Structure formats: structure tokens, C-alpha cells
């Protein structure tokens, strides 16, 4: 009887030792926060899903235009002899052929040429008090509006070597959308038929004009 009890105690002891050894050798339980389990966040960049690229925005066509360094302008006005008073001058479009329908020319610059490196005319104003429209930089020559006005004053009387000066007017030809070839053609015609606009200085007092 005593021998059987001792054998029983030995078996329990062996079983307890075995359980302790197995527990000691088992790997530690994984923490979900260290495993890649759901809910674990990283600093890795988010990759956006790839798809078809957006089509480029359509190019908007702009109306054609051509810069004209010298406009074909004429005037029948002149300055009164014996006076240096300012005068109102009419500036008319003389382009040949005349401006087509839908075409216009905007004035972009206006100045008198110098004579012997001296200024002999002064543009007092790009308008006249009693006549309109004014020839400012906002003015446009069109088929229906082919004249404008400025106020100019001579700075000296006519003398040897100082007879007159050219009024140079630059502009921009604007044409209807889709008429680029017609725009270029008209610009070339205007340049071919250009003639300078010359204003003569007034004669001094008591000096008769030369016939």
C-alpha cells in the first residue's frame, strides 16, 4: 500500500514538472499592436489609385492681330502763318483698300519726328475741345469711323532747315476670329501703300509764303 502511494506521488511530480517545462518553452503571446493586425498604423505613404490622366484643357482661339509701326493717316488741316497757336487737326484713315467689315485699327502710339535733333511740334492734347472723337490710345479706326482729332502746337516758325515734321502713328490691326490669312493680307497691303504724314511749320509774321 505504501509503495503504491509513493508511485502515485512520483507520477504527479513528473506531470507537474512536464507542465512547467512546456510553459517555460512556449513563445510569449503576440501583442496586436506589434503584429500587423488590423488597426495598426504606420507612416508609410498612401498610394493613390492610378487611373486615366485628365484630358488637357482645350486651347481657346484668339482673334488674329498684326502690329503696324506706321499707320496710313492723312490730314487736310494746317497751321496759320504768323502764329504759333495750337490747332485742331483731323487725322483720317487712308488705308487702301478701306477697312473691311469686322476689322479695326487701335492707335497705340503717336509722336512727331525731330528735325536736326530738335522737337518742332508738340501734341498739346489727344483731343479737341469742340470736335470729336479724340485720337487717344483707346481710339479705333473702323469702316464706319475713319477720323479723329488732336490738338497740336508748332514750337517755332519756318526757317532754313526747319520746314516741317512727320507725325508718326502706330497701331494694331484687329481682325475677326478665324480670318488670320485675310488679316495678314490686309496688313501687307497697308504697309505697301503707306505714305508719311508731314505737317509744315507756319511762316513767321510778315514773311510771305514761298509760291
Asked whether residue 180 is assigned to any structural domain, the reply reads yes
Domain membership of residue 173 (yes or no) is yes
Beta bridge partners of 172: 67, 106
Number of domains in the chain: 1
User: Residue 118: inside a domain, yes or no?
Assistant: yes
Q: Which DSSP category does 163 fall into?
A: S
Q: H or E stretch including 209?
A: none
For residue 45, the Cα-to-chain-centroid distance in whole angstroms is 41
- Tell me the β-bridge partners of 140: 106
14 belongs to a structural domain = no
Its domain, for residue 118, covers 65-200
Gyration radius of the chain's alpha carbons: 47
Q: Which residues contact 79 (CB under 8 A, 6 or more apart)?
A: 87, 154, 199, 200, 201, 202
**9 lies in some domain:** no
Assign residue 195 the CATH number of its domain: 2.60.40
Please report which confidence band the pLDDT of residue 207 belongs to, taking 50, 70 and 90 as the band edges: low
pLDDT tens digits along 124-172:
998 898 888 999 888 999 999 999 999 999 999 998 888 999 999 999 9
Q: How many CB atoms lie within 10 A of CB 146?
A: 16
Helix (H) / strand (E) element for 197: namely none
- Position 39 scores a pLDDT of 45
What pLDDT band is residue 45 in, cutting at 50, 70 and 90? low
| pLDDT recorded at residue 38 | 47
Residue 177 lies in a domain: yes
Residue 114's pLDDT is 93
pLDDT, averaged across the chain: 81
60 lies in a domain? Answer: no
Residue 108, H or E segment:
strand 104-112
Amino acid at each position: 500500500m505504501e509503495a503504491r502511494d509513493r508511485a502515485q506521488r512520483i507520477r504527479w511530480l513528473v506531470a507537474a514538472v512536464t507542465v512547467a517545462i512546456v510553459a517555460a518553452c512556449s513563445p510569449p503571446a503576440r501583442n496586436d499592436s506589434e503584429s500587423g493586425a488590423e488597426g495598426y498604423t504606420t507612416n508609410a505613404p498612401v498610394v493613390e489609385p492610378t487611373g486615366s490622366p485628365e484630358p488637357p484643357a482645350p486651347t481657346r482661339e484668339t482673334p488674329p492681330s498684326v502690329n503696324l509701326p506706321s499707320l496710313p493717316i492723312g490730314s487736310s488741316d494746317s497751321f496759320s502763318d504768323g502764329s504759333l497757336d495750337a490747332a485742331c487737326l483731323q487725322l483720317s484713315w487712308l488705308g487702301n483698300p478701306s477697312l473691311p467689315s469686322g476689322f479695326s485699327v487701335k492707335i497705340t502710339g503717336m509722336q512727331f519726328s525731330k528735325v536736326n535733333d530738335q522737337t518742332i511740334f508738340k501734341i498739346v492734347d489727344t483731343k479737341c475741345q469742340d470736335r470729336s472723337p479724340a485720337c487717344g490710345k483707346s481710339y479705333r479706326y473702323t469702316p464706319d469711323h475713319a477720323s479723329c482729332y488732336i490738338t497740336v502746337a508748332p514750337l517755332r516758325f519756318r526757317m532754313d532747315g526747319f520746314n516741317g515734321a512727320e507725325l508718326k502713328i502706330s497701331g494694331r490691326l484687329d481682325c475677326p476670329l478665324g480670318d488670320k490669312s485675310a488679316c495678314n493680307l490686309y496688313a501687307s497691303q497697308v504697309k505697301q501703300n503707306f505714305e508719311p504724314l508731314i505737317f509744315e511749320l507756319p511762316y513767321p509774321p510778315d514773311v510771305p509764303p514761298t509760291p
